[in-house]
């Protein structure tokens, strides 16, 4: 088995609330290695490229919103002026671009075995209200889709974490140059993995 990489981005709300140290600690404690860090303002070109520009992605995001609204008997036309999933997805992407550029973000590349499963588990459900206590989103946020949409913004959910190995590789290449990554072996790997 080979190690994999994942991109984590502590979003503007996580940075502004001073949660970077508490969040990074969780990933290091579980045995992942931080191999890259960047702190600063995200440029629009990178953020636009980070989120797919396909109708499939827009449909997925929009459908999630439509499903959430239907479960709560809310009308999407009141907020989005449409019930078309693709159009809703496009609006959400615009909100995400604005959100990522509000204030600084901390971009982190972590490496380890089964890294995607680990970062997703530690991050928790992307809807903070549904995130399990003990996860980053479960402990540090309780935002909801309907409240966010009512305020014409995306969910403030503290952190982005790559959700597939392929996305992790693509996102790491987008946000980091190869010379900005420093792979190393943790001294405790011998104990954790009996190497």
Which residues participate in catalysis according to the annotation? 160
Smallest CA-to-CA distance from 10 within 1, 20, 2, 18 is with 20
Rounded CA-CA distance 139/14 in Å is 12
- Tokens at residue 126, please? 């992307």
Render 116-175 in DSSP notation, one character per residue.
Answer: HHHHHHHH--SSGGGSPBTBHHHHH----HHHHHHTTS----SEEE--SHHHHHHHHHHH
Rounded CA-CA distance 58/122 in Å is 26
Q: 135, 161 in Cβ contact below 8 A?
A: no
């Amino acid at each position: 088995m080979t190690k994999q990489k994942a991109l984590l981005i502590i979003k503007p709300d996580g940075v502004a609330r001073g949660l970077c140290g508490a969040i990074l600690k969780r990933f290091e404690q579980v045995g992942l290695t931080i191999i890259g860090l960047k702190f600063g303002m995200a440029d629009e070109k990178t953020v636009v490229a980070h989120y797919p520009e396909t109708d499939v992605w827009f449909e997925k995001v929009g459908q999630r919103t439509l499903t959430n609204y239907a479960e709560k008997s809310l009308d999407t036309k009141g907020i989005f002026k449409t019930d078309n999933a693709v159009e809703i997805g496009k609006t959400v992407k615009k909100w995400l671009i604005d959100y990522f550029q509000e204030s600084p973000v901390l971009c982190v590349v972590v490496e380890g075995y089964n890294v995607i499963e680990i970062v997703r588990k530690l991050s928790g459900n992307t809807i903070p209200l549904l995130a399990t206590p003990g996860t980053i989103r479960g402990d540090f946020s309780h935002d909801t889709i309907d409240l966010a949409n009512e305020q014409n913004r995306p969910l403030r959910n503290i952190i982005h974490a790559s959700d597939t190995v392929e996305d992790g590789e693509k996102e790491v290449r987008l946000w980091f140059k190869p010379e900005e990554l420093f792979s190393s072996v943790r001294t405790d790997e011998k104990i954790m993995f009996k190497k």
